[in-house]
Amino acid sequence: MGIRRPWAGLEGDAMADEGIIAAGEAAGVVARLKHRMIEEALPLWSTVGWDHAAGGFIDRLHRDGTADGATPRRVFVQARQIWCFAKAAQMGWYPEGRAIALRGLEHLLAKAKAPDGRPGYVHRLTPEGAVLDARRDAYDHAFILFALAAVYALDQDAQIRAEIDTLLAFLDGHLRSPHGGVHEGLPVSLPRRQNPHMHLFEAMIACFEATHDLSFQNRAGEFFALFLANLYDKQKRILTEYFEEDWSKIEPVSVEPGHQAEWVWLLKGFERITGCPTGQRRAELLATALRYRDEATGCLVDEGDASGSIRRSTRRLWPQSEMAKAWIAQAEAGEAGAADEARAALARLERHYLSHPVRGGWYDQFDRDGKSLVDTIPASSFYHVLCAVTEAEQVLG
């Protein structure tokens, strides 16, 4: 017996994977994934995934699960790993996660924060911790803020709050655009992207939940207003990805269904902290995301166009975790059938991406024929997987 699809009317034609996810496979998926995080992923990324010589988190593992110590360290990946271990500690899943997160944060602050005397965090480091790329990137700063919020939530440490305030001052004083939102980074570059704004929205929600400081509600509200005014096309019900400086859309428009799904979850978070209703936009975003699916697996593809056609039929891991989170958000809102859809999405994630020979590893991307396109195990995916599983635990049980 397969999972019933009460939302089939949103999806158009029935997908070819109808019935593939068995009821039993979906029913136990949250417990299985929680076990996989606690027993496999967290131990792997805290040991092999940590550079015991130079400090900091390894950016990726080789396909056999050994550390790729020669790869440069992307600063947003350092921040994501800090978040993962702080979140795991907060959930009570991995008590040692607190110490690991603090060790990662200490390394990040020592190496990436203003090493050249200018405010903000640099973009990339060498494995030894030297500056490889000194640009200030808005996307990086969103994840650093997100990580700081998670660490602050553990202890309410005043020094961590001071780091949050310093980063906010940098955003306000150096990255804010006169047209609204933030610049891509310093030096200023084009195109502008919705992606850094989405993650700053996420970070402001997390900061409010960690601090209960109403200023973060207001900051999140600014990004919500930007979403409604510039990022979201209400007529076509699509999230636009790339813009000129004045927020005019760059044609042809690119649609990333994973981001459509991610905004569903974020809008539910915004509704939770503000009481502002977001149900209509969530339903629209989700319905659009479901147009861009691989027929064989039911997984989201990487990119489509504004008319609903698939532009890139490759499928990365992270859109699948975001689809699960979108359904979890709808389940939290009480939408009929959403919990079943969330479990089915998690089961697809487990089956296609997490069933890797390295315990605690994953496949990052497949082509349309199911061939793996990435030979390594990137650390950057851990945030997506762990976030989906923690959300599932809290909402679905």
- Looking at residue 306, its pLDDT comes to 97
Residue-wise pLDDT for 262-273, tens only, equals 999 999 999 999
- Looking at residue 277, its pLDDT comes to 98
Give helix 158-170 / helix 194-211 axis angle, nearest 10°.
150
- Looking at residue 14, its pLDDT comes to 38
- Looking at residue 8, its pLDDT comes to 39
CA 246, 250, 253, 257: dihedral to nearest 10 degrees? Answer: -60
pLDDT-derived band at 24 (thresholds 50, 70, 90) equals confident
Which stretches of 193-238 are DSSP H helices? 194-211, 214-226
CATH class of 70-251: mainly alpha
Query: From CA 98, how far away is CA 380, in angstroms rounded?
Result: 19
Q: What is the mean pLDDT of residues 276-294?
A: 98
Q: Which amino acid appears at position 184 of this protein?
A: E
pLDDT-derived band at 146 (thresholds 50, 70, 90) equals very high
Residue 352 clears pLDDT 60, i.e. is over it: yes
- Looking at residue 25, its pLDDT comes to 87
Report yes or no: 90 and 153 within 8 Å, Cβ to Cβ.
Answer: yes
Residue with token string 């496979």: 25
Residue 233 clears pLDDT 80, i.e. is over it: yes
Q: What is the mean pLDDT of the chain?
A: 95
Query: From CA 249, how far away is CA 155, in angstroms rounded?
Result: 43
Residue 20 clears pLDDT 90, i.e. is over it: no
Span of 18-27, 245-254, 336-345, 368-377 with lowest mean pLDDT: 18-27
pLDDT-derived band at 188 (thresholds 50, 70, 90) equals very high
Both structure tokens of 193: 């992207």
Residue-wise pLDDT for 320-331, tens only, equals 999 999 999 999
Question: How many residues in the chain?
Answer: 397
Q: What is the mean pLDDT of residues 169-190?
A: 98
Residue range(s) occupied by CATH 1.50.10.10 in the chain: 70-251
What does pTM read for this prediction? 0.95
- Looking at residue 116, its pLDDT comes to 97
The distance of Cα 29 from the centroid of its chain, to the nearest Å, equals 20
- Looking at residue 239, its pLDDT comes to 98
Residue with token string 């020592």: 110
Q: Is 83 left (phi over 0), alpha (psi -120 to 50) or beta?
A: alpha
For residues 189 and 10, which has the higher predicted lDDT (pLDDT)?
189
Q: Is 143 exposed, middle or buried (0-12, 13-18, 19+ CB in 10 A)?
A: buried
pLDDT-derived band at 21 (thresholds 50, 70, 90) equals confident
Residue-wise pLDDT for 97-145, tens only, equals 999 999 999 999 999 999 999 999 999 999 999 999 999 999 999 999 9
- Looking at residue 6, its pLDDT comes to 34
Residue-wise pLDDT for 2-19, tens only, equals 333 333 334 334 344 433
Residue with token string 């110490």: 99
Q: What is the mean pLDDT of residues 230-245?
A: 98
Give Dmax over CA atoms of the chain in angstroms.
Answer: 62
pLDDT-derived band at 187 (thresholds 50, 70, 90) equals very high
Report yes or no: 30 and 343 within 8 Å, Cβ to Cβ.
Answer: yes
- Looking at residue 23, its pLDDT comes to 77
287: nearest Cα among 340, 244, 341? 341
